[in-house]
């Protein structure tokens, strides 16, 4: 065999080896990049959906709370009750205009409106806009809501108010009830859809995802391009019918449902979809990312690699080092870009991010270890012991056990085995001596393929302003505006909670009624009557402790719920209360004698739940009235 033939065969063999090596490398690199790309799609989509969810929750909490506050405003109820006698009086409109205008100006809503069920009048901050009639198809939502049992609802519609240009608007509508729970009006606020569309469009542009707000039927209420006015079905439009039931069935508050569509539906596509439920508005947030463009880019890279291989085969080994080096740099750059995008996205959402190795019970990563050491935790301290040090030094006492229990290695592993990979806990923390503030930790559990251990990422976020506003709003909703006592709904909730928490205790359920209160209103007017109620309430408060449950459940009807020792002490308390409430009330030039009738039901003898105790105490109250008032009576079988 000649040297030339040997050289040719040698070159062919070398080329085949190089070709096989490069082909194998290219295929493996493509598969690795493909898997990494899909993981990045999932991570970015999950985090983006969470960011949108919390931003939308903050946006919608305010209009819902403001609408509920207005719907429970006693001034508005009383003023609306007088509308029937003043339909021809133009001066009646001005206070309503100022009232609605004040809320519109204070909170910056695009619309603030009030509809009277008596007259059908539609008032807004510009005055009387129009009168609603059943034959107008634009008013279908109004009559549907009157027939519905819900206290408030949302709908997307064009704003027909003068100068509103028929802009598409999201309306929060709340019913107003009178003392007999009859609906006397509907009040609400409106937000322009284009404001929410701008938010969703920003996320779409920044993270290459599509976000939608849909209702229970899958109809798109808001997206970057559409609104509920267009009546488009997300699942039919995007070919996601195969996962429709799973997404609409997910209603766990604060958690998400993540899955890939199969792409098997007609005209369907394979996409990664994350669903979250927003209970404040009963809508679903759907965030999806379609990876075909990313896969096409990876395939294009594979084609470029094949061309490079052909060139390398022409010049054999001359450029092999250069090509491999360039290829590796290209892959590294892509990975770094994705990691940087992920880092920026998470830094915008959270204050601190730490990683733990749950299987090995230790910190994972330099930043986590430094955080432990900054609190005086020695290096290589097990995670469960470091967790207790953190709780002792930074967490407010009443939240420590909950914090430790939530993020202990045992609980993390238990949740992971139950397929729950997301933990969340709100608590108060102090990072220095400046005091405690509200913090939220979102923890995500996953299996790390590098060390085959269960890891957990913890994302810390300062929610102090949001949490304090939430607690303040909750207290305001539960309080009777005139007296400062609990309202009827809150009274029921607090008493039921006390019975559930300490069922072994003895309690007394008092119902108090001001004797002949209608006489005070008739003789001296409603201002005097309001003063009598306030004076009566002050005397009540002075007879009980701050942690006793006191509520106003009607115009001049009150409830007190207290723990007691025996019948004798309860009788003494009732006698003292009747005596204390026997007062002469003077206001300006008017004077009136206050007395009270009281009915008492003892737990557990006279009932073991709120409704039974209320009914039996009310029976005892009527007995006090029958015996001449200004006295107390116990319920007896």
Choose the weakest-confidence range: 240-254, 402-416, 517-531: 240-254
Are 268 and 49 in contact by the 8 Å Cβ rule? The answer is no
Contact 385, 362 (CB under 8 A): no
Per-residue three-class SS string for 148-192: CCCCEEEEEEECCCCCCCCCEEEEEEEEEECCCCCEEEEEEEEEE
Choose among 80, 76, 51: nearest CA to 66. 76
Pseudo-torsion of CA 613, 616, 617, 619, nearest 10°? 160
Which of the four pLDDT bands, split at 50, 70 and 90, describes residue 343? very low
Q: Name the nearest CA neighbour of 483 among 529, 422, 436, 547.
A: 529
Q: Which residue has the higher pLDDT, 327 or 514?
A: 514
For the cut 50, the answer to whether the pLDDT of residue 369 exceeds it is yes
The whole-angstrom separation of Cα 486 and Cα 504 is 24
**What secondary structure does DSSP assign to 220-286, as a single string?**
EEEESS-BGGG--BHHHHHT-GGGHHHHHT---BT-EEEEE--S-STT----EEEEEEETTTTEEEE
Asked if the model's pLDDT at residue 342 lies above 80, the reply is no
Tell me the three state secondary structure of residue 82: coil
Report field, pTM of the whole predicted structure over 0.75: no
What tens digit of pLDDT does each residue of 611-636 get? 999 999 999 999 999 999 999 999 99
Question: What distance in Å separates the CA atoms of residue 554 and residue 559, rounded to the nearest whole number?
Answer: 10
Token pair for 326: 């360039």
pLDDT for 599 equals 97
Q: At what angle do helices 3-71 and 320-349 cross, to 10 degrees?
A: 10
Other Cβ atoms closer than 10 A to 394: 18
User: Mean of the pLDDT values across residues 9-13?
Assistant: 71
Q: Distances from the Cα of 421 to the Cαs of 401, 444, 454, in angstroms?
A: 21, 5, 11
**């009624």: which residue's tokens?**
513
The closest of 248, 295, 244, 224 to 36, measured between CA atoms, is 295
Residues 6+ positions from 358 with CB-CB distance below 8 Å: 383, 409, 412, 413, 416, 445, 453, 454, 455, 456
The answer to whether 46 touches 274, Cβ cutoff 8 Å, is yes
DSSP character string of 483-509: T-SB-HHHHHHHHHHHHHH-TTS-EEE
Q: Which domains does the chain possess?
A: 42-318 (3.30.450.20), 351-465 (3.30.450.20), 479-634 (3.30.70.270)
Strands 152-158 and 220-223: unpaired
The whole-angstrom distance between residue 134's C-alpha and the CA centroid of its chain comes to 35
DSSP code of 605?
T
Pick from 282, 213, 217: nearest CA to 251: 282
Percent of all residues in the chain with a pLDDT value above 70, rounded to a whole number: 85
pLDDT of residue 444: 94
Q: Do strands 632-634 and 596-603 pair parallel, antiparallel, or not at all (unpaired)?
A: parallel
CB 28 within 8 A of CB 112: no
Which residue, among 392, 389, 347, 397, has the nearest Cα to 371 in the 3D structure?
389
pLDDT at 339 (0 to 100): 45
Q: HSE, CB side, 13 Å, CA atoms: give it for residue 344.
A: 8
On the CB side of 462, how many CA atoms lie within 13 Å of its CA? Answer: 10
pLDDT of residue 25: 73
pLDDT in tens, 478-499: 888 899 999 999 999 999 999 9
> How high is the pLDDT of residue 2?
46
Judged against a pLDDT cut of 50, whether residue 199 lies above it is answered with yes
Mean pLDDT rounded to a whole number for the chain: 84
Give mean pLDDT, residues 22-40.
70
- How buried is residue 436: exposed, middle or buried, by Cβ count under 10 Å (0-12/13-18/19+)? middle
How far is it, in rounded angstroms, from Cα 562 to Cα 550? 9
pLDDT at residue 465 in the model: 86
> Poorest-confidence range of 73-82, 259-268, 354-363?
259-268
Confidence grade of residue 340 (pLDDT, cut at 50, 70, 90): very low
The side-by-side arrangement of strands in the sheet containing 632-634 is 549-552, 557-563, 507-514, 596-603, 632-634
Average pLDDT over residues 218-224: 82
- DSSP assignment, residue 408? S
| Neighbour count for residue 568 (Cβ, 10 Å) | 9
410 has a pLDDT exceeding 70: yes
Label residue 78 exposed, middle or buried (CB < 10 Å: 0-12, 13-18, 19+). Answer: exposed
**What are the contacts of 168-172 at 24+ separation with CB within 8 A?**
168/192, 168/193, 168/194, 168/227, 168/228, 168/229, 169/110, 169/111, 169/193, 170/196, 170/221, 170/222, 171/111, 171/141, 172/60, 172/63, 172/64, 172/67, 172/281
Catalytic residues: 556
Tokens of 628: 């001449």
What tokens appear for 246 in the block?
């799973």
Q: What is the DSSP letter of 378?
A: P
Tokens 């209970």 found at: 279
pLDDT tens digits, residue range 303-332? 777 677 778 767 775 665 555 556 556 665
**198-202, 277-281, 295-299, 333-337: which is most confident:** 198-202
DSSP 545-561: -TTSEEEE-SSSEEEEE
């Amino acid at each position: 065999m000649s040297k030339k033939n040997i050289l040719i065969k040698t070159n062919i063999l070398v080329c085949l080896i190089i070709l096989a090596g490069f082909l194998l490398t290219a295929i493996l690199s493509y598969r690795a990049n493909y898997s990494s790309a899909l993981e990045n799609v999932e991570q970015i989509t999950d985090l983006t959906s969470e960011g949108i969810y919390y931003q939308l929750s903050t946006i919608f909490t305010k209009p819902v709370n403001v609408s509920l506050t207005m719907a429970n405003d006693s001034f508005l109820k009383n003023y609306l009750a007088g509308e029937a006698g003043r339909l021809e009086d133009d001066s009646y409109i001005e206070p309503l205009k100022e009232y609605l205008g004040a809320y519109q100006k204070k909170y910056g809503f695009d619309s603030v409106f009030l509809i009277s069920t008596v007259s059908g009048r539609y008032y807004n901050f510009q005055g009387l806009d129009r009168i609603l009639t059943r034959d107008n198809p634009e008013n279908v939502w109004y009559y549907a809501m009157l027939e519905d049992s819900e206290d408030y609802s949302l709908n997307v519609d064009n704003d027909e108010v003068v100068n509103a240009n028929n802009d598409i608007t999201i309306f929060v509508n709340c019913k107003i009830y009178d003392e007999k729970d009859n609906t006397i009006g509907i009040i609400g606020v409106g937000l322009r859809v284009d404001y929410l569309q701008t938010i969703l469009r920003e996320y779409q542009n920044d993270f290459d995802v599509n976000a939608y707000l849909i209702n229970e039927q899958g109809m798109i209420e808001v997206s970057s391009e559409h609104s509920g006015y267009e009546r488009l079905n997300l699942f039919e439009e995007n070919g996601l019918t195969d996962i429709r039931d799973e997404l609409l069935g997910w209603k766990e508050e604060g958690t998400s449902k993540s899955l890939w569509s199969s792409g098997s539906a007609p005209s369907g596509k394979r996409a990664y979809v994350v669903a979250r439920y927003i209970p404040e508005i009963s809508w679903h947030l759907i965030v999806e990312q379609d990876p075909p463009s990313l896969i096409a880019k990876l395939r294009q890279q594979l084609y470029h690699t094949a061309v490079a291989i052909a060139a390398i085969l022409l010049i054999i080994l001359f450029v092999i080092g250069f090509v491999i080096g360039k290829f590796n740099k290209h892959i590294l750059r892509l990975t770094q870009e994705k990691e940087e995008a992920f880092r920026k996205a998470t830094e915008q959402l959270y204050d601190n991010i730490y990683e733990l190795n749950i299987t090995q019970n230790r910190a994972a990563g330099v930043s986590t270890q430094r955080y432990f050491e900054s609190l005086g935790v020695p290096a290589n301290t097990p995670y469960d012991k470091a967790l207790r040090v953190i709780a002792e030094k930074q967490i407010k006492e009443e939240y420590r056990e909950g914090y430790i229990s939530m993020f202990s290695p045992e609980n993390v592993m238990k949740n992971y085995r139950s397929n729950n990979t997301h933990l969340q806990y709100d608590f108060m923390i102090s990072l220095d001596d400046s005091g405690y503030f509200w913090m939220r930790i979102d923890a995500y559990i996953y299996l790390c393929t590098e060390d085959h251990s269960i890891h957990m990422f913890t994302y810390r976020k300062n929610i102090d302003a949001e949490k304090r506003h939430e607690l303040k709003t909750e207290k305001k909703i539960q309080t009777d505006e005139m007296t400062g006592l609990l309202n009827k709904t809150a009274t029921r909730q607090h008493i039921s909670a006390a019975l559930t928490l300490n069922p072994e205790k003895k309690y007394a359920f008092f119902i108090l009624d001001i004797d002949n209160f209608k006489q005070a209103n008739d003789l001296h007017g409603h201002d005097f009557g309001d003063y009598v109620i306030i004076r009566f309430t002050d005397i009540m408060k002075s007879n009980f402790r701050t942690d006793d449950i006191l509520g106003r459940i009607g115009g001049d009807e009150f409830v007190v719920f207290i723990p007691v020792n025996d019948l004798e002490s309860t009788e003494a308390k009732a006698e003292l209360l009747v005596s204390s409430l026997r007062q002469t009330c003077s206001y300006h030039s008017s004077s009136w004698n206050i007395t009270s009738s009281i009915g008492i039901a003892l737990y557990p003898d006279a009932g073991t739940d709120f409704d039974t105790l209320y009914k039996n105490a009310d029976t005892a109250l009527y007995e006090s009235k029958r015996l001449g008032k200004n006295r107390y009576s116990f319920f007896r079988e």
